[in-house]
Structure 1
Amino acid sequence: MAPQPLHPVTVLEQCHVSPSPAPGQPRALPLTFFDLVFWGFPPVQRLLFYDNADLLSVSDFTLGELPRFKKSLAAALHHFYPLAGKLTCEMAEGAVPEVVFLHGDSVPLTVAVSGDDFEDLAGDHARDTTRLHPLLPALRKHGGSRSQNVLAVQVTVFPRAGICIGTTLHHAVADGSSYAHFLRTWAAIHRLGPECRKVLEMDVPPLFDRGVVRDDAGLREAFLRDHRALASAGDTRLDGWDLSLRRGVVLATFRFTDKQLRALGGHVESETSARCSPYALACGAAWAGIVHARGGSIGRDVDGAAASRAHFGFVTGCKPRASPPIPANYFGNCLGLCRVEAGERGLTAAAASAAIWRVIEELAEEGRALRDARGWVRSVREYASARAVTVAGSPKLRLYAAADFGGAWGRPRKVEIASVERTGAVALAESGRDGDGGGIEVGLALPRAEMEAFRTFYLDLFASLC
């Protein structure tokens, strides 16, 4: 059993926030084949830490900020009403997985207070993941597990230190781009006021029309068949990524400044002739570092033999790559899966970055992003069993700017994707630190010994480039 946090969180209130004003008639959104790729995945859980040393007591927040917080969330949900709905959990023959919104549906909101060290929790250094768990809300199931909430929110007050917003979102409903769109709208409403017309002028509303997703190849039905077959077989390979039940797992952030990325890019080009993007460089260094940290314990290949290849996976946005293109404000998942392999023995940051960049370059070929789509549902399970390193988030989402709530909140000092503990991913974001222009933050969860080995790899890599 995982150890309990030294400073447990005390729940002050549990309530529900409904879209305001109500969005109108009951509505249902069927899941597309893009959504079904992430069916069965752990939810995406983010933590947003905000400095506020002037917040002297819990009552300062509950009497001052909380009413406005609830009102802005309700107003944002008016535009993003599916987030207040419920996702059907049945995958039986004839069942139609969909998000259903009915009048009166809501997002559960938990208000809590913590006695833990805010400065420590919001840092970059390795922190025990069990200390973060109490800051994350759970998605509730309904009707004997026939459906569940799509989104849950928790706000935790740290007196004399700051505030943390925790969100839990079902991945089959929205990708990072749609989450960022919602967060940007919510923060703008909170910053400017629910009645401010500038909010609507700042951004286009979300598009829910599933007709813009063409499925001429019948991928949705193919994915449904795969999911049903995997469920019947009792497939649990996604658990291969889950570290949440292991002792001594820590979460840490490693910063790749613009200067470091330029130095690494020059090194990679001299070694491989590949001119990599900052994204490929950060991913390659993280992948090589994790392979190094694991030593020989990479995982098992599909046939059960010891893996001699290292596996990496990332996603690419398919809105501009679809035919016809899907509007940028489309709400839902619209991601393609990309696979990279390399020899795991002695994998260097240069070799890893170049391998990733070659796959990225191939995406320029028309139709390449969806060429292998029919196998996505099963290949994800194969990658999980091989303990592939994957990517969550993207610097392009600009979450630090999106989450600017204004007033006493401002921009978050730290954004974490805490759910990488369960998904085998590295979390990527733009640098939230002033002076890192163009920098990238890489967050990862590893057992403590592996994290120390990764840290040594990271320090040695950039010391060698100076």
Structure 2
Amino acid sequence: MAPEALHNMTALEQRQVSPLPSPSGTKPRALPLTFFDLVFWDIPPVQRLFFYDNADVPGVPEFLLHELPRFEKSLAMALHHFYPLAGKLSCGSITPESAAPELVFSDGDSVRLTVAAGAGDEFHDLAGDHARDTARLRPLLPRLTRDGVRLQDVFAVQITVFPHAGMCIGTTLHHAVADGSSYLHFMKTWAAIHRLGGPGCSLEAVPVMGAAPLFDRSVVQDEDGLREEFLRDHADKRLLLEDDREPGSAELATFRFTDELLLRLGRKVESETSARRCSSYALACGAVWAGIMRARGGGSTRFGFVTGCRPRTSPPVPGNYFGNCLGLCRVEDDVQELSCGGGGGVITAAAMAAAAIWRAIEGLAEEGRVFRGARGWVRLVREYACAGAGAVTVAGSPKLGVYAATDLGAPWGRPRKVEIVSVERTGALALAENGPDTDGGGIEVGVALPRAEMEAFRAFYVDLVANLQY
């Protein structure tokens, strides 16, 4: 196909990558969506960027000749194990008359791989922590396509090469297909196949890494009839594609919390609230939540997060299960100090927010607690999961270990930066472990805000870090 200009980038070509080899005939071809999957049916796709720096990356012709075939083949071999990602969702909307949605794979199905080129001198700026207009990052992301009215792709990949600077791998995933754990299982497999199948080694000889994904939907028990209730909640609601909700103007920036910084904030939580301790997750989320509310000038103080349900179900869902298995939680405390009208300083605001989140997390320890409000999950997602809703939610998790999981081996290594760009549409915080170039461990948080709010949030963050030094 003819090259197409994309801002400062050029789309070179598109390829269709099918599982290699094709999955055996004994593998299930149709996977019904469970109630866990239906929770995320009509929210924007999850879009991630993986930046790999490499000053020795060749020019575009050399990359296409020598590097791209290896990426394409390792992707095809990873899809052999995760073949539903090459399939399609079987209906475009849920109505009382329509069949229940399924993820369907047919022989010959494939994942669209877009290949693009960017200017080498822009790579390090795009992969930085500083605030960048999200409009500059969108061209690095592939789009999902719809085949007619009733079929939709669920996964797409884009590789953008920046000559003499690095490479970016962008992925777009329909959230109804997989949660972060299943997605990282796939990405870890792809990276391992690519890493171990280096020069002089046949990719076919690379062993399967870890437990093979489990597609058996019977392991998800639904004694309370949540699936049927969620289907009714979705009835007459059209499937929301990424094109249907164009984001407004926003900037994306990364803010880092080292282990030492979180330890000091934890001590403040213990001294200023009734909480005896807080997890690093609650501390980082609380600090950012408080900063966003201050930046917005008060207003809603709603906070929502997800929790892994594989070990919480009865019987437990195996860890290698492929799909969604997340519960929804929200903080219902009236945290007055989060608003600009609160009398406390930045440390008090962060401490109160962190303590509120930690109380909600501690409450999950009670058996069955996470499922008590499950009948309202679809409505809760619609209420919380868009940038204009005023709520703050969470995407990703430091526990996923995204940097280590996506190590491609020589000459790329681990990504220097991972971004969840789709938070500009959902208003979520993008959490991960701090990247490999960061000293002191800890957590990094990606935040997407309008420019004025970003400047106010940055001032809050700088003030918080400065006050925690004493």
TM beyond 0.5: yes
Rounded to whole Å, the distance in 2 between the matches of 1:128 and 1:104 is 38
CA displacement, residues 99-152 of structure 1 (integer Å, 9 cap, x when unaligned): 000000000000000126001000000001000010000001002x31111100
* Equivalent position amino acid for 2:301 in 1: A
Q: Is the 8 A contact 2:213 2:321 kept in 1?
A: yes
Aligned length, in residue pairs: 442
Bigger mean CA deviation after superposition, 213-222 or 436-445: 436-445
1:262 aligns with 2:263: yes
1:381 aligns with 2:382: yes
CA displacement, residues 203-259 of structure 1 (integer Å, 9 cap, x when unaligned): 010000000000000000000001115x2xx899x99xx7x5323x10000000111
Rounded to whole Å, the distance in 1 between the matches of 2:122 and 2:373 is 47
Aligned to 1:222: 229
1:186 pairs with 187, 190, 193, which one? 190
* Equivalent position amino acid for 2:414 in 1: R
Rounded to whole Å, the distance in 2 between the matches of 1:66 and 1:286 is 39
5 Å-filtered alignment, 1:281-300, equals 281-296=283-298, 298=299
Aligned to 1:319: 310
CA displacement, residues 162-207 of structure 1 (integer Å, 9 cap, x when unaligned): 000000000000000000000000000001126465632x301000
| Shift of residue 58, structure 1, vs aligned partner | 0.5
Gaps of 5+ in 1: 299-308
Query: Does the residue aligned with 1:199 lie in a helix, a strand or coil?
Result: coil
Rounded to whole Å, the distance in 1 between the matches of 2:196 and 2:239 is 48
| Shift of residue 90, structure 1, vs aligned partner | 3.2
Rounded to whole Å, the distance in 1 between the matches of 2:180 and 2:19 is 21
| Shift of residue 339, structure 1, vs aligned partner | 0.5
Q: Is the 8 A contact 1:28 1:100 kept in 2?
A: yes
| Shift of residue 382, structure 1, vs aligned partner | 2.5
Aligned to 2:41: 39
Q: Is the 8 A contact 1:24 1:103 kept in 2?
A: no
Rounded to whole Å, the distance in 2 between the matches of 1:278 and 1:429 is 12
| Shift of residue 371, structure 1, vs aligned partner | 1.1
Distance 1:405 1:335, change over 3 A: same
Q: Is the 8 A contact 2:247 2:425 kept in 1?
A: no
Aligned to 2:207: 199
CA displacement, residues 303-347 of structure 1 (integer Å, 9 cap, x when unaligned): xxxxxx510000000000000000000000000000013436431
Query: Does the residue aligned with 1:346 lie in a helix, a strand or coil?
Result: helix
Aligned to 2:17: 17
RMSD: 2.0
Rounded to whole Å, the distance in 2 between the matches of 1:216 and 1:336 is 16
Query: Does the residue aligned with 1:270 lie in a helix, a strand or coil?
Result: helix
Aligned to 1:392: 395
* Equivalent position amino acid for 2:294 in 1: H
Rounded to whole Å, the distance in 2 between the matches of 1:389 and 1:258 is 23
Q: Is the 8 A contact 2:7 2:139 kept in 1?
A: no
Rounded to whole Å, the distance in 1 between the matches of 2:126 and 2:6 is 13
Rounded to whole Å, the distance in 2 between the matches of 1:269 and 1:197 is 53
2:93 pairs with 90, 99, 103, which one? 90
Aligned to 2:154: 150
Query: Does the residue aligned with 1:132 lie in a helix, a strand or coil?
Result: helix
1:108 aligns with 2:112: yes
Distance 1:383 1:334, change over 3 A: same
| Shift of residue 92, structure 1, vs aligned partner | 2.4
Rounded to whole Å, the distance in 2 between the matches of 1:199 and 1:272 is 51
1:436 pairs with 439, 444, 451, which one? 439
Q: Is the 8 A contact 1:72 1:186 kept in 2?
A: yes
TM-score in terms of structure 1 length: 0.91
Distance 1:433 1:127, change over 3 A: same
CA displacement, residues 365-390 of structure 1 (integer Å, 9 cap, x when unaligned): 00011111011111222235642100
* Equivalent position amino acid for 2:86 in 1: A
Query: Does the residue aligned with 2:256 lie in a helix, a strand or coil?
Result: strand
Rounded to whole Å, the distance in 1 between the matches of 2:46 and 2:289 is 21
Aligned to 1:424: 427
* Equivalent position amino acid for 1:222 in 2: E
Aligned to 1:329: 320
Q: Is the 8 A contact 2:308 2:326 kept in 1?
A: yes
Distance 1:58 1:198, change over 3 A: closer
Distance 1:39 1:461, change over 3 A: same
| Shift of residue 66, structure 1, vs aligned partner | 0.4
1:212 pairs with 219, 242, 253, which one? 219
1:455 pairs with 447, 455, 458, which one? 458
